[in-house]
Chains A and B, each alone.
Chain A
Amino acid sequence: MLIQALKKLGQTLVVLMIVSIATFGLLKLAPGDPVQIMLGAEYSQETYESMTRELGLDQPFLVQYADWAMNFVQGDWGTSYIARTDIFTYGFKEALPVTLTLAFFSLSFAILIGVPLGVLSAVKKDTIFDAGSAVFALTGTAFPSFLLGILLIWFFGVKLQLFPVMGYVSPWEDLRLGIYHMILPGLTLSTYFIAMITRLTRATLIEVMDEPYIAAARARGEPGWRVIWVHGVRNIAMPLVTILGLQLGTLIQGTVLTETVFNLPGIGQMLTSAVLGREYQVVQAGVMMTAFLFIGVNLLVDLSYPILDPRLRDRK
């Protein structure tokens, strides 16, 4: 099993390298001469050449890549002229926490709402409630999140004036206000996952309830809620983690859109303004951070199976 884990780790490293080469190479293809952009309209041939040397642009591609990768690992990601700071501070210390906070809140909402909904519709199988949650699960997965965000802003923010509709307050600094600001964005992003988890929980639980150990628990006279929540729901962990790993891309994609809807200064806003301002280094940083996040979490998902399911541990 250790060998398998190491193999997986090796594969992951190769993928990371390909992604970083591709990101670096692709943005080299971008139109516009970086030297020209930095020097402005008027410059002499001499300053142009010295600038090219200074930036290392006269070196072969792989040398440039190696330079860039070394700087990237050391946290030297270049400077953003729009944000007026270095990209590491802008992207990693400021934008990434916002995105992660949003992702964390949405996932918590999704699990806290989705699992009980799924359990209820499994227990009340073939009733109106079950049909209703099936319709919700279907529309919830297909409904565009940014539209839902705008509708929530309109209803809860403008009509009812219950929640703030814009801006970000870090929950680490002011927990109550932070959570308050995260409710609408969190709900927007989590609807897709609530729908998915509801569907998953229902399907898994219906299957599990036929298992002999459930019948055994009932025969021992354990109360119904205990049979369901202790013996039944535990089985959801594995498929839940699998599907969350697979759907992580959807989550990251969703945070990008939700950030734009609610004006949250996360990776999504960073990427959009970088594309509009043609700041390729910032795009690079944003793409690299998402890729690392995605690859890292998927690795964790793969490695966590034996922890979640004792049955996988015993097998050699």
Chain B
Amino acid sequence: MTAKAAPAPATVPPAGPSGNGAARGKRSMFRRRPFFTVALIVSLAYILGAIFAPLVAPYDPVAQSIDAMMQPPTGAHPLGTDSYGQDILSRVIFGARYALIIGFCSVLIGAVGGLIIGLAAGLSGGWLEWALMRLIDSILALPSLILAVAFIAILGQGVDKVVIAVGLSMIGPFSRTVRADVMQVRVQGFVEAAHLMSIPYLQVVWRHVLPNVIFPLAVQVTIRISEAILVSSSLSFLGIGVTPPTPDWGLMIAEGRDFVSFAPWMAAMPGFALALLLIALSIVGDGIREEFDPKGRRGS
């Protein structure tokens, strides 16, 4: 296997076509928020790196080599190698795939589940609403990582199991924000007017309530992706998430922890990849929330 000179994901040329298109439309926002712009470029670079991982990564992420075990960063292995002689740079690049896919998918599960429970709780009244609220309270009574650990205990380990466990554990916060939005919308004049025009109930919900709930929910989704990535890599770090030899950052950090005294790059490199992505995503999320969510509401 030959080493192509490959840029690390963070240094991929920033201006993707989609980035340019968005920039022309809303130039002012990118001017006003330089941090946001930089963070967005970094996030896009991660996404591009994840999509084109086989092209950018110099080595096979799971190819082991006895000749190249635990080498410090050199020309041949820019980020060093791990205890199996696997190239850390390639594993970090492929790890972006797992992190982003797990993050997106589990947030989607959480958002859809939250939408259903939140709509039901917000639209119903009486004992059903009370029961649903207590249900949401109960889900929220457990931190998402603990909840995910409990689901993993039942489901077992693996990428798909992690997606489900993290997704289910995020339903609580989503359903609470959806319910709050529904409560606000359903007392609005246009909803009352629609009811008075004797438009069928479900159609009112579909045409008038849902659109006003979906948009804040989409904002929430962007904010919570970083949380999902953090929880999933935490699970892998604890050794109960994704199984080896999957190039997952949390797993790599856990493996590197045992060798921190003489091979600190093993934990540090995937760690910095994770930290940079999380910081970038949280700046992007904050920016989007401040721009598009005038209420400035903070989720828990």
**A residues apposed to B, CB below 8 Å:** 11, 14-15, 18-19, 22-23, 26-27, 29-31, 138-139, 141-144, 146-147, 150-151, 153-154, 158, 246, 248-250, 252-253, 256-257, 260-261, 268, 271-272, 274-276, 278, 280, 283, 286-287, 290-291, 294-295
B153 A261 Cβ-Cβ under 8 A: no
* Docked pose: A139 CA to B138 CA in angstroms: 31
| Shortest distance from the beta carbon of A275 to any chain B beta carbon, whole Å | 5
Instruction: List A contacts of B268 (CB < 8 A).
Output: 147, 150-151, 154
* Docked pose: A283 CA to B142 CA in angstroms: 13
Interface string of B106-147 (1 = CB under 8 A from A): 000000000000000000000000000011011001111110
Contact of B154 among A27, A142, A272 (CB under 8 A): A27
Instruction: List A contacts of B240 (CB < 8 A).
Output: 272, 275-276
Instruction: List B contacts of A138 (CB < 8 A).
Output: 279, 282-283
B257 A142 Cβ-Cβ under 8 A: no
Excluding A27-B153, A150-B260, A158-B261, 8 further A-B contacts by CB distance (< 8 Å) are A26-B150, A147-B267, A147-B268, A153-B257, A246-B300, A249-B142, A249-B300, A256-B145
Q: Which label, helix, strand, loop or mixed, suits the secondary structure of the B interface?
A: helix
* Docked pose: A146 CA to B279 CA in angstroms: 15
B153 A283 Cβ-Cβ under 8 A: yes
A30 B153 Cβ-Cβ under 8 A: yes
A18 B260 Cβ-Cβ under 8 A: no
Residue B53 at the A interface, CB < 8 A? no
Q: A22-B138, A31-B154 are in contact. Are A158 and B238 (CB under 8 A)?
A: no
* Docked pose: A150 CA to B274 CA in angstroms: 14
Residue B152 at the A interface, CB < 8 A? yes
B150 A15 Cβ-Cβ under 8 A: no
Residue B242 at the A interface, CB < 8 A? no
Contact of A274 among B151, B153, B154 (CB under 8 A): B153
Residue B226 at the A interface, CB < 8 A? yes
Q: A29-B154, A30-B154 are in contact. Are A144 and B238 (CB under 8 A)?
A: no
B142 A19 Cβ-Cβ under 8 A: yes
B260 A253 Cβ-Cβ under 8 A: no
A-B contact pairs, 23 of them (CB 8 A): A11-B137, A15-B141, A18-B135, A18-B137, A22-B138, A26-B150, A27-B150, A27-B153, A27-B154, A30-B154, A142-B226, A147-B267, A147-B274, A147-B275, A154-B264, A252-B146, A256-B146, A256-B149, A256-B238, A275-B240, A287-B146, A294-B141, A294-B142
Q: A294-B141, A295-B141 are in contact. Are A31 and B238 (CB under 8 A)?
A: no
Contact of A150 among B141, B152, B226, B253 (CB under 8 A): B253
A283 B150 Cβ-Cβ under 8 A: yes
Residue B278 at the A interface, CB < 8 A? yes
Instruction: List B contacts of A146 (CB < 8 A).
Output: 234, 237, 253
Instruction: List B contacts of A142 (CB < 8 A).
Output: 226, 275, 278-279, 281-283
**B residues apposed to A, CB below 8 Å:** 134-135, 137-138, 141-146, 149-154, 156, 226, 230, 233-234, 237-240, 253, 256-257, 260-261, 264, 267-268, 271-272, 274-275, 278-279, 281-283, 300
* Docked pose: A52 CA to B274 CA in angstroms: 47
* Docked pose: A287 CA to B169 CA in angstroms: 13
* Docked pose: A271 CA to B150 CA in angstroms: 9
* Docked pose: A27 CA to B135 CA in angstroms: 18
Instruction: List A contacts of B272 (CB < 8 A).
Output: 147
Residue ID in chain B nearest A29 by CB atoms: B154
A150 B261 Cβ-Cβ under 8 A: no
| Shortest distance from the beta carbon of B221 to any chain A beta carbon, whole Å | 17
Instruction: List B contacts of A19 (CB < 8 A).
Output: 138, 141-142
B149 A275 Cβ-Cβ under 8 A: yes
Q: A26-B150, A144-B271, A283-B150 are in contact. Are A294 and B138 (CB under 8 A)?
A: no
Instruction: List A contacts of B226 (CB < 8 A).
Output: 142
Contact of A272 among B144, B239, B278 (CB under 8 A): B239
Q: A27-B154, A275-B149 are in contact. Are A257 and B234 (CB under 8 A)?
A: yes
Instruction: List B contacts of A153 (CB < 8 A).
Output: 257, 260
Q: A22-B138, A30-B154, A294-B143 are in contact. Are A158 and B260 (CB under 8 A)?
A: yes
| Shortest distance from the beta carbon of A163 to any chain B beta carbon, whole Å | 14
A290 B143 Cβ-Cβ under 8 A: yes
* Docked pose: A141 CA to B283 CA in angstroms: 11
Across chains A and B, which 9 residue pairs bring their CB atoms closest together, nearest first?
A: A249-B143, A147-B271, A18-B138, A253-B145, A253-B143, A142-B279, A142-B282, A283-B153, A158-B261
Instruction: List B contacts of A143 (CB < 8 A).
Output: 275, 278-279
* Docked pose: A268 CA to B230 CA in angstroms: 16
| Shortest distance from the beta carbon of A68 to any chain B beta carbon, whole Å | 16
| Shortest distance from the beta carbon of A99 to any chain B beta carbon, whole Å | 12
Residue ID in chain A nearest B137 by CB atoms: A15
